[in-house]
Amino acid sequence: MARLLHTKGYSEVWPLLGGFDAWLALGYPVEQYAARPRLASIAAASAS
Amino acid sequence: MIYFLRQYGYLLVFSVTLAENLGVPLPSFPVALIAVALAAQLGFSLKGLAALITLGALLGDGLWYLFGRLRGRRVLRTLCSISLNPDSCVSRTEDLFGRHGVKSLLVAKFIPGLNTIAPPLAGMLGISPLRFFLVDLGGVGLWLGAAFILGIVFRGQIEWLIEWLSAFGKVSLLVLLVVLAGWFLFKWIERRRFYRLLERSRIAAPELKERLDRGEDVVIVDLRSDLGLRLDGLKIRGAIWIPPQEFEARYKEIPRGRPVVMYCT
């Protein structure tokens, strides 16, 4: 996807090393999604 | 000098090859090439040279392979610690190896930087000793073949150069030292460039945090699928969420002309 953005003319694109987990593990600022996740879908997701 | 080479030639060729494959930036390729070109004049046997060079290279690579196998990621980390951003260096090297697999070993000798990193990586990734040995032997063979061919083709020129150098006596030693210093510098720059290339393609979390704290206008894009996101309900502050399956349709929402950092889980 970074490559796709590059071809579309975005000049500086970086994947974040270690992804969200690395960010969270270091205690850097996060926020809630605007829409709160629905509990029903969490249950459905973890059941599957 | 000719006398010195005749006396210590085999030892010199062997130790330079071994040292370079252990990671010391020495010019083992030119040394092998010159040894081949002057073999007849100095009374070296080509078979003996080939055997010694192969042994030196395999020994150096084998030691790194063993280190990689025993100590895992820490070895790569040490190797990468020369670079500015060890985390990115490690993961990028793994990517590189992951894409081309063991075959990277075949050409590793010709690529500055990769030469030292490939053997411990092979150990780290659990490639069997026999497989490592065979592929590495192939890689050394290619490299040695190139040195032999060039050494034989340019024999005349190399002989002339050496004669010219020995005519100058002590001055030639000085010239040799300067050339050696130049070679060191060249290798060092090449290596830095290689590591920088490895680094360029990823950003580590502390670096991103620092850039944000400095007030840089970085766009952060959250690429987790909605399952991944629902598990914790959190995202990096200020991130735009575009699930991967909608990415092609929605990438235009990402503002242009600003650095973009993307992440998934």
How many Cα atoms within 13 Å fall on the side-chain side of residue B219? 21
Q: For residue range A10-30, list pLDDT tens digits in order.
A: 878 888 887 888 898 888 999
Q: What is the pLDDT of residue A48?
A: 42
Instruction: Name the residue of chain B whose CA is nearest to A1's CA.
Output: B247
Q: What is the pLDDT of residue B197?
A: 65
> Would you call B202 and A9 a contact, using CB atoms and an 8 Å cutoff?
no
pLDDT above 70 for A40: no
Mutant choice from B208, B213, B250 vs A, greatest count of A C-beta within 10 A: B208
B69 Cα to chain A: minimum distance (Å): 23
Instruction: Name the residue of chain B whose CA is nearest to A29's CA.
Output: B237
pTM of the model: 0.56
> Would you call A20 and B206 a contact, using CB atoms and an 8 Å cutoff?
no
Percent with pLDDT over 70 in chain A: 67
> Which tokens hold the place of B130?
């026999």
DSSP assignment of chain A: -HHHHHHTT---EEEBTTHHHHHHHTT--EEE-SSPPPHHHHHHHHH-
Q: Is B91 on the interface with A (CB under 8 A)?
A: yes
**CA-CA distance, B133 to B122, in Å (whole number)?**
10
**CA-CA distance, B166 to B260, in Å (whole number)?**
59
Pair type for strands B260-263 and A13-15: parallel
> Would you call B262 and A14 a contact, using CB atoms and an 8 Å cutoff?
yes
B82 Cα to chain A: minimum distance (Å): 19
CA torsion sign for B98, B101, B105, B108 is negative
Q: What is the pLDDT of residue B94?
A: 66
How many CB atoms lie under 10 A from the CB of residue B141?
Answer: 15
Q: What are the 10-residue block averages of pLDDT along chain B, 265 residues in total?
A: 74 89 81 87 86 94 90 71 54 68 83 77 85 93 93 88 76 80 81 66 86 91 74 83 85 88 83
Beta strand residue intervals within chain B, DSSP E: 219-222, 234-236, 240-241, 260-263
> Would you call A16 and B205 a contact, using CB atoms and an 8 Å cutoff?
yes
Q: What is the pLDDT of residue B58?
A: 95
Q: Is A20 on the interface with B (CB under 8 A)?
A: yes
**CA-CA distance, B125 to B87, in Å (whole number)?**
17
ipTM > 0.90? Answer: no
> Which tokens hold the place of B55?
């042994």
Q: Is B227 on the interface with A (CB under 8 A)?
A: yes
B75 Cα to chain A: minimum distance (Å): 19
DSSP assignment of B212-265: HHTT---EEEE---HHHHHHH-EEETTPEE--GGGHHHHGGGSPSSS-EEEE--
C-alpha angle with apex B182: B179 to B186, nearest 5 degrees? 135
Q: Kindly list the residues from chain B whose CB atom is less than 8 angstroms away from the CB atom of residue A43.
A: none
Q: Is B45 on the interface with A (CB under 8 A)?
A: no
pLDDT category, A39, cuts 50, 70, 90?
Answer: very low
**CA-CA distance, B90 to B190, in Å (whole number)?**
18
